[in-house]
Structure 1
Amino acid sequence: MNKNQIKKLVALALLATAPFMSFAQKEKANWQNLDLKTDSVFGISTEKAYTELLKGKKSTPVIVGVLDGGVDYLHEDLKRVMWVNKKEIANNGKDDDKNGFIDDIHGWNFVGGKEGSVNYETLELTRLVRRDGKRFANTTAQNVAEKDRAAFEAYLKNKETLERDLETAKSGLEGATRVKNLIDDLVKKVGKDNPTVEELRAYTPSGQTETNIRNNVIRNMGKGDFKTFYEERIKGAYDYYYNQVNYNLNLNYDPRGIVGDNPDNSNEKNYGNNDVKGPDASHGTHVAGIIAADRTNNLGIKGVADNVWILAVRNVPNGDERDKDVANAIRYAVDNGAKVLNMSFGKAYSWDKKVVDDAVKYAVSKDVLLVHAAGNDNKDLDVENNFPTNKYLDGSVASSWITVGASTPTDNQNLKAGFSNYGKTTVDVFAPGYNVYSTYPEQQYKDENGTSMASPVVAGLAALIRSYYPKLTAVQVKEIIMKSVEKVNHNVTVIKDGRAESVPFADLSVSGGIVNTYNALKLAATYK
Structure 2
Amino acid sequence: MLFPSFRRQLLGVALLLPVLATAQTVAPTQPEVPVQQWYLLDPTADGVMGVSAKRTYQELLKNRVSTPVVVAVIDAGIDTAHVDLKRLLWSNPREIAGNGQDDDKNGYVDDVRGWNFLGNADGRNVDVDTYEDTRLLAKLKPLYENKARTAVPAAKRAEFDLYQKVKRTQADKIAENTQQYQSLSESYTQTKSMADNLRQILNVPRLDTATLRQLRPTDPNLQRATQGLEANLRAAGYPDLESVVNDMKEGMDQSKNLLDYSLNPKFNPRATIIGDDPTNTTDRLYGNRDTHGPDPGHGTHVAGIIGADRTNNLGILGLADNVRLMAVRAVPNGDERDKDIANAIRYAVDNGASIINMSFGKYYSPQREAVDAAMQYAEKKGVLLVHSAGNESQDIDTAVEYPSPVYPNGKRVPNMITVGAAARLNDNHLAADFSNYGKKNVDVFAPGHQIYSTLPGQQYGNKSGTSMASPVVTGIAAVLKSYFPKLTATDLKRIILQSAVVYHTKVVKPGTNQEVDFAELSSTGGLVNLYQAVQLAASQNP
Shorter-normalised TM range: 0.7 to 0.9
> How far did residue 158 of structure 1 move?
1.2
1:111 and 1:315 in contact (8 A); partners too: yes
> How far did residue 513 of structure 1 move?
0.9
Aligned residue for 2:315, secondary structure, equals: coil
1:49 and 1:517 in contact (8 A); partners too: yes
Aligned residue for 1:492, secondary structure, equals: strand
1:44 and 1:518 in contact (8 A); partners too: yes
Q: Which amino acid aligns with 1:232?
A: D
Q: Paired residue for 1:434?
A: 449
Match runs of 1:264-283 below 5 Å: 264-283=279-298
Q: Which amino acid aligns with 1:122?
A: T
> How far did residue 190 of structure 1 move?
8.8
Aligned residue for 1:244, secondary structure, equals: helix
- For 1:42-66, what per-residue CA distance to the aligned partner results, in whole angstroms no more than 9, with x for missing partners? 1111121111111121121110010
Q: Which amino acid aligns with 2:254?
A: Y
Q: CA 1:437–1:22 in 2, change beyond 3 Å: closer, same or farther?
A: farther
- For 1:476-528, what per-residue CA distance to the aligned partner results, in whole angstroms no more than 9, with x for missing partners? 111111111112132222245x42x2211111111111111111111112225
Distance in 2 of aligned mates of 1:138 and 1:430: 44
1:31 and 1:41 in contact (8 A); partners too: yes
Q: CA 1:268–1:444 in 2, change beyond 3 Å: closer, same or farther?
A: same
Unaligned runs of 5+ in 1: 1-12, 203-215
Distance in 2 of aligned mates of 1:189 and 1:491: 41
Q: Which moved more, 1:235-244 or 1:105-114?
A: 235-244
Q: Percent identity?
A: 45
User: Is residue 447 from structure 1 mapped to residue 466 from structure 2 by the alignment?
Assistant: no
Number of residue equivalences: 501
Q: Which amino acid aligns with 1:130?
A: A
Distance in 2 of aligned mates of 1:191 and 1:435: 24
- For 1:408-453, what per-residue CA distance to the aligned partner results, in whole angstroms no more than 9, with x for missing partners? 1212222111111111111111111111111111111111111111
Aligned residue for 1:116, secondary structure, equals: coil
User: Is residue 130 from structure 1 mapped to residue 138 from structure 2 by the alignment?
Assistant: yes
User: Is residue 493 from structure 1 mapped to residue 508 from structure 2 by the alignment?
Assistant: yes
What TM-score, normalized to structure 2?
0.86
Q: Paired residue for 2:158?
A: 150
User: Is residue 522 from structure 1 mapped to residue 529 from structure 2 by the alignment?
Assistant: no
Q: Paired residue for 2:517?
A: 504
Q: Paired residue for 1:473?
A: 488
Distance in 2 of aligned mates of 1:34 and 1:171: 37
2:481 and 2:492 in contact (8 A); partners too: yes
Distance in 1 of aligned mates of 2:370 and 2:339: 7
Distance in 2 of aligned mates of 1:406 and 1:195: 30
Distance in 2 of aligned mates of 1:183 and 1:47: 36
- One of 395, 417, 425 as aligned partner of 2:410: 395
Q: CA 1:177–1:295 in 2, change beyond 3 Å: closer, same or farther?
A: closer
> How far did residue 191 of structure 1 move?
10
Q: Paired residue for 1:425?
A: 440
> How far did residue 167 of structure 1 move?
3.2
Match runs of 1:172-183 below 5 Å: 172-178=180-186, 180=188
User: Is residue 292 from structure 1 mapped to residue 299 from structure 2 by the alignment?
Assistant: no
Q: CA 1:194–1:479 in 2, change beyond 3 Å: closer, same or farther?
A: same
2:117 and 2:286 in contact (8 A); partners too: yes
Unaligned runs of 5+ in 2: 1-5, 17-27, 220-227
Q: Paired residue for 1:404?
A: 419
1:354 and 1:393 in contact (8 A); partners too: no
- One of 23, 37, 40 as aligned partner of 2:44: 37
2:8 and 2:434 in contact (8 A); partners too: no
2:506 and 2:516 in contact (8 A); partners too: yes
Q: CA 1:283–1:306 in 2, change beyond 3 Å: closer, same or farther?
A: same
Q: Paired residue for 1:6?
A: none
> How far did residue 136 of structure 1 move?
3.6
Aligned residue for 2:250, secondary structure, equals: helix
- For 1:315-370, what per-residue CA distance to the aligned partner results, in whole angstroms no more than 9, with x for missing partners? 11111111111101100000000010100111121121111000000000100110
Q: CA 1:339–1:381 in 2, change beyond 3 Å: closer, same or farther?
A: same
> How far did residue 103 of structure 1 move?
0.6
Q: CA 1:175–1:39 in 2, change beyond 3 Å: closer, same or farther?
A: closer
Q: Which moved more, 1:313-322 or 1:344-353?
A: 344-353
Q: Paired residue for 2:127?
A: 119
- RMSD between superposed Cα atoms in Å: 2.9
1:194 and 1:225 in contact (8 A); partners too: no
Q: Which moved more, 1:14-23 or 1:384-393?
A: 14-23
Q: CA 1:189–1:33 in 2, change beyond 3 Å: closer, same or farther?
A: closer
- One of 253, 268, 271 as aligned partner of 1:254: 268
- One of 15, 18, 39 as aligned partner of 2:11: 18
